[in-house]
Amino acid sequence: IRVWADMERPGRQGVPVRLLLMMVLAGLCMVHRSEAIDAGRMPAEESVSIGGVAKDFLRKDEPALVEVGRSEGEVDPTECEVGEWGPWSECSTPCGAGSQRRQRHVAALKAGASCPQAVERRFCMIRECDVDCEVGEWGDWGECSATCGGGVKSRRREVEVAPVANGKECPPLTEEAPCNTEECPQHCQVGEWQPWSPCMGGYRWRERPITVMPQHHGDACPVTFEFGPCPAEVDCEVGEWGPWGECSASCGGGQRSRHRPIVTEPNELGEACPGLEETEACNEEPCVIVIPPKPPTGTGESDTGSGEGEQPPGPGSVGTTTSGGGGGGGGGVDFPGSGGELGSGE
């Protein structure tokens, strides 16, 4: 029963198997009643039911289908005269399950002789009959792919009878349609507030621009213009100066600075803050340059031949001494702002 139910399902693969089984069952069912053997005819109401489908393969004026009783080898030639079978006729239907017949000469030689059949029939099928596809009703629409701005929804239907042979193919099983085609809401957008206007008559105003206008039931714009009385003046207040920072140079002149904090910020009507940073000069005294001593030259005798050797400056001397010229005196090294020589050779 389960195998038969599987073959009842729609589809190309089940149809040939079912028809083949029908043919086998029909061959087993087509037995001739005893009265048909004697009369050589079948009753008009005789039919064969295969798979729940009644087929009137035998008509009133047609002989019996199959031989029953004794086999060909058991025919007594003294009782029956049996000729050769003729060719099979064409299939009774151009497609699907049909029948063919053939006949032979059979004559009873004695009264009451049981002779074999004179006509024989069998099932045939030239090809499968064309079966058009049949589909069911459309299912419900699915959800839209977008909530606004245009989306797509779809629905589906199932195949109830699959096409066979040259039957019509199935129509589309899915269908799409536009949905939620209304425009999406466009909400208002505004920019930053502009500075307050100068006070005029004790009042001032300001505004901000609209960058995106609302459309399609979008949110309305917020307030874009403000007007009100001018606030009281608030002047800047600063704190005490902090300590001086380090000088930028240790000698020769540098700079240092100090800062003071803002205690109260001014509003747009108050006085602005004074300078918050102050600088001054520092370490303006000149820098001192230390000249290293010269290494000794010669053996202690003067190059001029005077016999008096001059000693080089000792370690830690600031200036250098020179010999000869300048009135016999050694020349010192002058530094800016020193007011004279820092050292001499005397």
296 vs 65, higher pLDDT: 296
What pLDDT does 73 receive? 59
Sequence-ordered alpha helix ranges (H) in the chain = 2-8, 14-29, 34-39
Q: Distance between alpha carbon 7 and the CA centroid of its chain, in Å?
A: 43
Q: What is the DSSP letter of 174?
A: E
CB under 8 Å to 53, separation ≥6 — which residues? none
Going by pLDDT thresholds of 50, 70 and 90, the confidence category of residue 299 is low
Range name among 15-19, 75-79, 175-179 with the lowest pLDDT average: 15-19
Burial track 28-53 (b if 16+ CB lie within 10 A, e otherwise): eebebeeebbeeebbeeebebebeee
What pLDDT does 320 receive? 39
Size of the chain, expressed as the number of residues it contains: 346
Q: Distance between alpha carbon 218 and the CA centroid of its chain, in Å?
A: 29
The number of beta carbons lying within 10 Å of the beta carbon of residue 110 is 11
d(CA 319, CA 331): 9
Tell me: pLDDT of 140 over 90. Answer: yes
Tell me: pLDDT of 20 over 50. Answer: no
Tell me: pLDDT of 14 over 70. Answer: no
Task: Using CA atoms of 60, 65, 70, 74 in order, give the dihedral in degrees to the nearest 10.
Answer: 110
